[in-house]
Structure 1
Amino acid sequence: MAGKKRFGSVRQLPSGRWQVRYRDPATGLRRPDEKTYPTKTDAEIRLSQLEADITRGKWVDPDAGKTNFGEYADTWLKERGLADRTLERYEGVLRLYIKPTFGAGFVGEITTAKVRSWRAKLLEAKVGGATVAKSYRVLRAVLNTAVDDELIDRNPCRIPGADKEDSAERPVLTIEEVYGIADAIEPRYRALVLMAAFSTLRFGEFAALQRRDIDLELGIVRVRRAQAELQTGQLKVKRPKSEAGVRPVAFPASIVGELTEHLRWFGEPGSAGRVFVGPRGGRLRRSNFHDVWTAALDKSGLDFAHVLEETGADSVRFHDLRHTGNNLAADTGASTRELMHRMGHSTMDAALRYQHMRGDRDRLIAKGMDDAIKKSGIKPKKPRGRRKPPEDPKGTAGARD
């Protein structure tokens, strides 16, 4: 009953179905196809397809996909060389959202239909849309590597738009509101609030900032490193993960006096001294600063209901100062490329390509923000040579330890 062909053969099984047998290009041994077929014609068509795939180098070993996904994902994660915080986030995404569904199965068993079902169940379980999108991107990245490793023929993550995040709009504060929070917060953090709004650095970049990074005469802060706070509580200071993150950023002349006073009373001494420290001289921690920030919002007496209602946000966050500053910069006429530079979001190639325009144009952006501050009627503080530091409920002695 077996029909012979040069490349392989087909034969009818006792069940009446037809089996395809062909020579494995890797081992040279005969092997059966993964499926059987209802007719001899169907089997012969499949045999021709296999021969064509092997001839074109498109054949994928069916056994290659029989690799445990959970173990493969763990190996994938270790081999990425990711930054600590990114590694932590990816590990959490895999553990919480991906492995519960795919971890015990084989890589080759994951189909587009299964990915679609997995994503739908996450959304039905009220997992945030941004988290679902991130989980989808991580799964797709793992399976892209599986394609490269020839474990599967193609990536089953093929759902249009599943990788997109619809991030909620964040509040944009007025200059008066920024200064209202700065007035209400503990004195050692006043300059931090103003710099966050008018230089738009990230919290981790402020935590790693040193005196030598600030040029008060030119009104420029140079970002050279950033602090990462891991879930274990460990703090790590390292160079930003991309070249775009290493950048000079101009800030308005209106806050030079504020920053001068801050460095005098609260900054650590020496060129390598940290600009922003905690009340006992410890490093800034996002987890600890949250309570300070919340207390300042309450003490300011400002009503943020209007801006929260407009955006759908549940609270005003410290990071919203960065968002506010970026909007102020845009209002001065800054181009998209210039905004990306200030934010540290451009790619390495883009950062190098537009490096020639950074100095003068960025200072013009800062001047435009300065004009907006003056127009608001705020009268920034200037250095007055005080003999006593501003009142600090937790004292300043620790800052100089």
Structure 2
Amino acid sequence: MSLAEYGESRWATAMRGLEPLTMCPYEAGWRLRVLPSLGHVPVRAMTRRAVNRALHCWIADECGLSTVKNSLAVLVRVLEQAVRDGLLDANPARIIGWQREYQRAQRERTAPRSLALPGPAALDRLAARLVQRSPDGYEGWGDIVRFAAWTASRFSEVSALRAGDIDPVDWTWDVCRHTVFVPGGLRDCGYRGKSRRTVPLRPAARMLLAARLRAARHTPQARLFTGPTGGRFSTPLLREATGWDEVVVELGHEFLLRQDLRPTGLTWLAAAGVPLSVLNDVAERPSPAELRRYLPPADGPVPEASPGVPPQRSGPRP
């Protein structure tokens, strides 16, 4: 039985005694964060590692302190019920010290360039190692990781990418949906507000898309990136299938335990001289001060180039 199914069947018992004022943020945390991150995991297979990974994702998504606290608290209550029901020996959601991780993430956000991979060669090494670690050696994982980095996108957005979202004339991507977990499986959910944005596609991203677009030229709803089974995938699924945590530590990119590849993509776009108005849109319209943190020093080093991609500027174009 998955966590989503168990939570639905034992919700009233697990939440017994809570005040209505407390139930509101708990229900929101369960629906908006716990289920998308962990709803697919069987209750008996729930581990502290899985909970830690979900917690890091919530922090990386810049959820507020109270939001993270409430999401973790409702998970604790549901898994405590699972312990009472004999499904677990101990509650893996009782994590100590996560507030320190939150504070560290807050500090890291003041220097987002430090959360970027050093260059395309590092990205290729990461992608290749993730493919090697996956049980079936699925090459698609590597392409998904590369595309997410070059477009400053989330894995859930890459999962929901359709052929019709790409403008092959201007080479832009209309990021208009993402894949989320719901009871019963994964589905695509449309974006509203600032999360919907237009992302320019640089040469490396275009190369990843070219063959896929040719194959789907008559099918605008065709998915361009899929999991090993040919369908949707989620961030937790990708991380689990590729041994993400072990690989990023092995390669010296520990910050990727708490972050995705958006800081990498935004840093590289800024270094390539993308106009600030475009960068602002891709970054989902942060404050001017936050946006400036992605800009390289005027005399900063030029990022290393990958094969077939010309070296990029180290600063914004005039």
TM-score (norm 2): 0.54
Number of equivalences: 224
TM superposition shift of 1:85 = 1.8
Give the direction of change, closer, same or farther, for the CA distance of 1:200–1:339 in structure 2 (3 Å limit). Answer: same
User: In the alignment, is the contact (CA less than 8 A) between 1:176 and 1:378 conserved in 2?
Assistant: no
Whichever residue aligns with residue 216 of structure 1, its letter is P
2:9 aligns with: none
Whichever residue aligns with residue 226 of structure 2, its letter is V
1:165 aligns to what SS in structure 2? helix
1:244 aligns with: 194
Give the direction of change, closer, same or farther, for the CA distance of 1:171–1:249 in structure 2 (3 Å limit). Answer: closer
Say which of 160, 166, 171 aligns to 2:107. 166
Query: Are positions 1:225 and 2:201 aligned together?
Result: no
Say which of 263, 280, 299 aligns to 1:323. 263
1:259 aligns with: 209
Query: Are positions 1:129 and 2:100 aligned together?
Result: yes
TM superposition shift of 1:220 = 0.8
Q: Which runs of 5+ in 2 are unaligned?
A: 1-16, 36-57, 59-65, 77-93, 132-137, 289-294, 296-301, 310-318
1:339 aligns with: 279
1:128 aligns to what SS in structure 2? helix
Query: Are positions 1:180 and 2:125 aligned together?
Result: yes
Whichever residue aligns with residue 178 of structure 1, its letter is L
Whichever residue aligns with residue 164 of structure 2, its letter is R
TM superposition shift of 1:289 = 1.4
TM-score (norm 1): 0.44
TM superposition shift of 1:222 = 0.7
User: In the alignment, is the contact (CA less than 8 A) between 2:157 and 2:175 conserved in 1?
Assistant: yes
1:281 aligns with: 230
1:272 aligns to what SS in structure 2? coil
Query: Structure 1, residues 248-306: CA drift from partner, whole Å, max 9, x if none?
Result: 111112432331124456x79721111211222221122321244337986x9x9733x
Give the direction of change, closer, same or farther, for the CA distance of 1:209–1:338 in structure 2 (3 Å limit). Answer: same
1:276 aligns to what SS in structure 2? coil
User: In the alignment, is the contact (CA less than 8 A) between 1:172 and 1:320 conserved in 2?
Assistant: no
Aligned residues: CA RMSD: 4.5
**Identical residues among aligned pairs (%):** 17
Larger Rg: 1
2:141 aligns with: 189
Deviating 4+ runs (over 6 angstroms) = 89-92
Whichever residue aligns with residue 224 of structure 2, its letter is V
Distance across 1 between alignment mates of 2:165 and 2:244: 29
1:166 aligns to what SS in structure 2? helix
Distance across 2 between alignment mates of 1:91 and 1:318: 17
Whichever residue aligns with residue 22 of structure 2, its letter is A
User: In the alignment, is the contact (CA less than 8 A) between 2:166 and 2:172 conserved in 1?
Assistant: yes
1:376 aligns with: 305
2:158 aligns with: 206
User: In the alignment, is the contact (CA less than 8 A) between 1:204 and 1:226 conserved in 2?
Assistant: yes
Say which of 248, 251, 265 aligns to 1:304. 251
Whichever residue aligns with residue 235 of structure 1, its letter is L
Query: Structure 1, residues 222-242: CA drift from partner, whole Å, max 9, x if none?
Result: 111111236x674242222x4
Give the direction of change, closer, same or farther, for the CA distance of 1:165–1:218 in structure 2 (3 Å limit). Answer: same
1:249 aligns to what SS in structure 2? strand
Higher relative contact order (CA closer than 8 Å, sequence separation 6+): 2
User: In the alignment, is the contact (CA less than 8 A) between 1:210 and 1:271 conserved in 2?
Assistant: yes
